[in-house]
Structure 1
C-alpha cells in the first residue's frame, strides 16, 4: 500500500538543527484542553532571536497520539537514522494526495491522520483541527509554552 503526504499550509517551518527545541503538551484533546505543540522555527541567520510556533491540536479520538513514531511509508525518503529530511506537517492518506483546498489560514478541519516531522521527533496523531495560534520569541520551547499559557 502506498501512502501519500500533502503538506499542510503551515508556513512556520521547523528548525532543522540537531539541537532544535520543542515541547508537546498532551491534553485531553478537546476544546478545553487541546494538545499543544511548541516547536522552534527555522531562522534565516543565527543572530536572529529564537522563535517558537504554538500549535493547538484537537482530537475527538482519545489516545490517538504516537510520539517517537517510527512508521515508514512507501514513497517517502528517510535518512539513515530514520528521520525525514523534509520537516513540517503532513496529512497521511491511503493512495490519495490531499490537495489542501480545505485548509485555510494554517488550519485543517475534520479528523485526519497527521504526521509532524521535527528534527528531533516524529509525531503521528488523529486530529479534528490543527491550528497555528501564534509565534513567540523566547529562549526555549518551555518558556514559550509558559508565556502562551499565561496569556
Structure 2
C-alpha cells in the first residue's frame, strides 16, 4: 500500500505492532506554560483561589492525563508507566506572570513516553486555566513542546532552538 506505518494494506488506520521491539527504560520531559495576571499570581501564591490549591489539583490532573494518553490519542499504545512527575516554576518578567510546567514520564517498555509527557503538560495547563478562569478568562496557555526523550530504537533527543521559543531551552 504505502510506507505509512499506521495504515494497513487497505489504507485504513492501524496501531503499529511493537511486539518485536526491545524493552528499554524510556523517559520524556515536556513543557507547557500559562500566562496569568498579577491578581491570579497573587491569589495562587497566597492560596486564595476558591476552587482550592491550583498546583495540587493541576499536578494530579497531569498525572491522570499521562496515564490515560492512549484514550486521547488514537494510535498511542497503552503503557505501564513507572513514574510521573509534574513541577512548576514562576517566571516573572516586566509585569508578565508565567507558570512554567515541566512534565516528566518514565516507563520500561517497547515504545516511548513522549506523548504521555506532552499530554501531562497540556492537561496540567488546562487545569490551571480551569481553576483560575473565574478571575480572568484571558489567560494564555503557552507553547507546549518536548524537551527531551531518552531510550528506544531512535536514541535520545534533546530539543534545540528552531526559531520558536518561549525564552527557555
TM-score by length of 1: 0.30
**Structure ranking higher in strand proportion:** 1
Higher helix share: 2
Which of these two proteins has the greater Rg computed from alpha carbons? 2
TM-score by length of 2: 0.28
